[in-house]
Chains A and B, each alone.
Chain A
């Protein structure tokens, strides 16, 4: 399961697809900014109009793909990326042409390409830049304009050096931008498919990080990990401590003395330092972390409180009666004493779940988390190292933190209700 989580997280970004913007704010932020920036527009393979010509006499194929993009946003895309899948027996000639709504056009690329996958980051591609420069020279426009500006501005504004965006609706009747991909090859079995990604400055529910990963995916897939870690740690630690407490209170004398002294030692153990040491020595996965946390909390506050309750319960007449019926000590402990004490530990479980979620997050921030798994703490930690706080990529920090707080609040509320049920003084009749 965790391996799967890891894959989902990695797949979310860093792939060849380049279909998510880097460091984009969540889409809903536009409600507050009141702007209408480009949300990601993807022209999928099946949305390209495909035109295949096989010229049998020449033993050649010409394929034309045409993408039509109705563009009515106020800003130019932050990135314009094209993914191509070329099938051919020989090298082929690839031509990319860009047609603006006003009918003006320019050639972005014309080169011989091998078969295979090809990603073109138009804004940064060397050949595209050269072609754009040539275009600008021919036009007589300043050479300082960026590729994005050139692609989305009218020629007249380029000439003046003040690029202004043309929207599809600026021309009557409204016309889209067009990208024409042309592949010519000396082969009858050639084929080409394309996907065009126009990336904006906002993305999805939670934005993206510096590796183009959708933070929402990290949060969704990190949730079971955070909850599993928190619940397992809280459950095991509380129950183990409760059992030790009950044993201590019930058996008394030497056993009690030993358990209590060990608990005293555990209570003063420098928990974090030991955990850091353990994480340095052993391979750091979330499971070693979990085991270490449990091992360092076998005895603790719950041992003390359950012991004091066990001291009371063991004197109750029904325990005495059970003894006279010949019930063995373990039987009395597990059937007569523990069931009485466990309800009180449930409350402790609910309050310690968020504590362990927090612990995992803070260890991640210290760099002691699982290096591969998408945990909430790790998203925050990466945000810090990515300079999110400095550059103001607030969504990268605040959203995962908010989820950590949300889980804590949820369990705190659960605890309030449990307390009402379990604490006789708060019980409503």
Chain B
């Protein structure tokens, strides 16, 4: 399998009144074409920021943005915004935002929003675009009758599908899904996940699936990247991460995942995630780590390969 997207030392800092927030701090990994990578981590660890960094959709208060973003061999960092608009956004990579319920323009009908991409980017006429919009609705298993409806007339799950449909309108290769199911009930969640699976097969999509729900990510993904405080602490194929987690944070995260019909008390991770404006020196997890050593307090761990598809950034493994 070829590598579709390769990140090297991707960094995104925000300027705030409290100082510089290091939301994404030197992240590197590759995504193979047709695979699905899950990005998991606690709230506020920088998952959405990572998605923005990959899309190159930067907020106004961006402080630092650097690194290499090789998409199919081309470095997105070298492109201008108009190049991105012309060649990449929606055409080769698209994103479904966190809280997709609010990603629809409340003053336009679903049909208008679905056909926008076709009239603006593909230059189709209105009628042809409407036809394509209807096809898109079919693609995400929604009735055509939604075309003339406004977003507020749709349920959350329907809106989520519409947003996915819009993102897929120009058949991108890469789709970033930022917590696409977090506001939905479990049945709807399962439906959406199944839809995403089918779409991946039909359209040969590559997913970056952002979630804080490990069990959900196991449904869809081939790889899991665990983020903590702006860094990827562990990355590996799904089997090794779920069965043999190496990083103490990943272990704690798995232990904190609820399972049905199991009496085991849920563990929680003592302490809270660090303030990204002033992260602790050394390993960022060290204030909460049960295995903390003295070195952890000032040495930044580097990724260590523990097996063919499994990397971990922890000094416990670096020494061994």
A residues within 8 Å of B by Cβ?
252-253, 316-318, 320-328, 331, 335-336, 339-340
Contact = CB atoms under 8 A, between A and B. Distances in A.
B85 interface: yes
B97 A328 contact: no
B120 interface: yes
What 4 A-B pairs come out closest when comparing CB atoms? A326-B89, A321-B103, A317-B102, A339-B107
B199 to A, nearest CB: 18
Given A252-B60, A331-B120, A324 B106 contact: no
A326 B97 CA distance: 14
Interface string B150-174: 0000000000000100110000000
Contacts of B108: 335
B212 to A, nearest CB: 18
Contacts of B121: 326
A371 B60 CA distance: 54
22 contacts: A252-B60, A316-B102, A317-B103, A318-B104, A320-B57, A320-B103, A322-B105, A324-B57, A324-B90, A324-B95, A325-B89, A325-B117, A325-B167, A326-B84, A326-B86, A326-B89, A326-B91, A327-B120, A328-B85, A336-B105, A339-B107, A340-B106
Contacts of B57: 320, 323-324
B69 interface: no
A396 B143 CA distance: 67
Interface in B135-187: 163, 166-167
A340 B105 CA distance: 9
A326 B103 CA distance: 14
B60 A325 contact: no
Contacts of A325: 89-90, 94, 116-117, 166-167
Main secondary structure of the interface of A (DSSP, over half): helix
A318 B90 contact: no
Contacts of A252: 60
A327 B104 CA distance: 13
Interface in B39-55: 55
A331 B100 CA distance: 20
A144 B13 CA distance: 104
B281 interface: no
Contacts of A326: 84-86, 89-91, 117, 120-121
A345 to B, nearest CB: 14
Contact of B163 (A316, A321, A335): A321
Contacts of A331: 120
A252 B59 CA distance: 12
Nearest to A340: B107
Contacts of A316: 102
Given A317-B103, A324-B95, 9 more contacts: A318-B103, A318-B104, A321-B100, A325-B89, A325-B90, A325-B116, A325-B167, A326-B89, A326-B90
A325 B91 CA distance: 9
Contacts of B104: 318, 321
B99 interface: yes
Nearest to A332: B105
A325 B90 CA distance: 5
Nearest to A320: B97
Nearest to A328: B85
Given A325-B90, A325-B94, A326-B89, A318 B55 contact: no
Given A317-B99, A318-B102, A318-B104, A324 B55 contact: yes
A420 B36 CA distance: 50
A317 B116 CA distance: 17
A320 B89 CA distance: 12
Q: Count chain B CB atoms within 10 A of each CB in A253, A326, A327 and give the residue with the most.
A: A326
Nearest to B86: A326
Contacts of B90: 324-326
Contacts of A253: 60
Contact of A318 (B91, B95, B106, B116): B106
Contacts of A317: 97-100, 102-103
Contacts of B60: 252-253
Contacts of B103: 317-318, 320-321
A42 B60 CA distance: 79
Nearest to A321: B103
A127 B90 CA distance: 96
A335 B117 CA distance: 14
Nearest to B87: A326
Nearest to A331: B120
Contacts of A324: 55, 57, 89-90, 94-95, 97
A87 to B, nearest CB: 70
A158 to B, nearest CB: 83
Contacts of A335: 105, 108
Nearest to A342: B107
Contacts of B105: 318, 322, 335-336
Contacts of B89: 324-326
A254 to B, nearest CB: 12
A316 B55 CA distance: 18
Contacts of B99: 317
